[in-house]
Amino acid sequence: MSFSPVGNSSKRISESTIHRLSLYYRALSLFEKEDYETVSSKDLAKGENLTPAQVRKDLSFFGSFGTRGLGYPVHELRRKIASILGIDRPWRVALIGVGNIGSSLVSYKEFQKQGFQIVKLFDNDQRKIGSNHKGIVVSDVKNIERELQDAKIELVILAVPATIAQYIVDDVVRAGVKGILNFAPVILRVPDDVHLRNENMAMELEYLSFAVVNNQRQK
Amino acid sequence: MSFSPVGNSSKRISESTIHRLSLYYRALSLFEKEDYETVSSKDLAKGENLTPAQVRKDLSFFGSFGTRGLGYPVHELRRKIASILGIDRPWRVALIGVGNIGSSLVSYKEFQKQGFQIVKLFDNDQRKIGSNHKGIVVSDVKNIERELQDAKIELVILAVPATIAQYIVDDVVRAGVKGILNFAPVILRVPDDVHLRNENMAMELEYLSFAVVNNQRQK
């Protein structure tokens, strides 16, 4: 999947570029915290396993040019990347499925830190509905379409069993949500204007087992 | 990152191909459960948002050819992909950091289902050391190098704070572990022969916020 960049260019931004922007954003946040006013492409590349040339290429693509000898202005560049990533404002997020993984995500600090505010929780288990997680009362998933709209939810995290995931996603889509982060181990169908990311931790381990076995085989 | 395929070919396997093999493996497991003896490339493509041509290309690359009119033998192909991915045998896994995310992963069913057996837990919190999670007693991280070796751990899941992640990874590497799945929001340095995967759920949400905002801007 790729997207048009901000502005009028017709070029496309790859997934890995967006990933690197997230890394630059984190690095710049740290530099800002430590009161740096400017950083070089070398500073930004360091620790991220990137080359300064890659950093310069990425940033020039977004119209940010460092000044030779001075580097990039930390605060301004951080703000600009935040704007490109859409995290220059908070996002209203709902989490569906307050089970094992789901309930751990309610208190995942990185979400809050980047402005992703989990403000609604849903489950279909009568024992969980009405219970309180970090100050949020769990709603019944059966009213989800209306409740997502009432709460102006923009992103959804789905942590439900594979068997019911598609039914719930259909409701989420009907509610007008355009971004879904899916933890259910199943491929979901969504319309073209809805963005879906799949997280499957077991598949990450399979990637590692493949890599380890393959390295051994090569020896 | 890319790897040489199994066998003597000098071609490389991309990350997305490995990802698709994991998907085929899951689909084949379901077909086997439902007693299918053969499946077509169309059957395998369906539900995965892939084309039959892509499926045929992937599988021919690994030396598996369907028979025209008969398709691929389910059991044999599933076994073959398991062997390529290295999941034709169980893996001994240690989980380091029994906090919020870590403790939810101890009971993550998909790991067990694919043969990733979490057999050791570590933490540096005295209140957690010695406690029991799903039958596994939490060990003190200070003896981790020896304990990983004694327990013949092959893969490690790291769910510790960013500030201490590199120190722990250095111990893990010294213990001879060759695959690490990292949940700490930090870039880690490992030697070339150690495979590292990073999971950052906040960055996944940033990808979605980028996509949603960009779609809106295009309108």
pLDDT tens per residue across all 219 residues of chain A: 334 444 434 356 788 889 899 999 999 999 999 999 999 999 998 867 789 999 999 998 888 777 777 899 999 999 999 999 999 999 999 999 999 899 999 989 899 999 999 999 999 999 999 999 999 999 999 999 999 999 999 999 999 998 899 999 999 999 999 999 999 988 899 999 999 999 999 999 999 999 999 886 654
Domain A91-203 superfamily per CATH: NAD(P)-binding Rossmann-like Domain (3.40.50.720)
A187, B107: Cβ pair inside 8 Å?
Answer: no
Please classify residue A160 by burial: count the beta carbons closer than 10 Å to its beta carbon, then call 0-12 exposed, 13-18 middle and 19+ buried: buried
In chain A, which segments carry CATH 1.10.10.10? 15-85
- Residues with Cβ < 8 Å from B131, sequence gap 6 or more? B98, B137, B138
Using the Cβ of A197 and the Cβ atoms of chain B, whether some distance falls under 8 Å is answered with: yes
In CATH, the number for domain B15-85 is 1.10.10.10
**CA-to-CA dists, residue A28 to A44, A61, A76, angstroms:** 8, 18, 10
Residue of A49, A210, A215 with shortest CB distance to B193: A215
Using the Cβ of B70 and the Cβ atoms of chain A, whether some distance falls under 8 Å is answered with: no
pTM, two decimal places: 0.85
For A28-183, strand residue ranges (E) read 38-39, 72-73, 91-96, 116-123, 132-133, 136-140, 155-158, 179-182
B195, A212: Cβ pair inside 8 Å?
Answer: yes
Strand partners, B158: B96, B182
Residue written as tokens 């799903």?
Answer: B134
Element (H, E) at A45: helix A41-45
User: Which of B25, B104, B206 is the mutation pick for testing A, counting most A CBs within 10 A?
Assistant: B206
Residue of A22, A157, A209 with shortest CB distance to B85: A209
In chain A, which segments carry CATH 3.40.50.720? 91-203
Question: How remote is the C-alpha of B37 from its chain's centroid?
Answer: 27
The interface predicted TM-score (ipTM) is 0.89
Question: Residues 100-119, chain B: which have Cβ within 8 Å of A?
Answer: 100-101, 103-105, 107-108, 110-111, 113-114, 116
A185, B87: Cβ pair inside 8 Å?
Answer: no
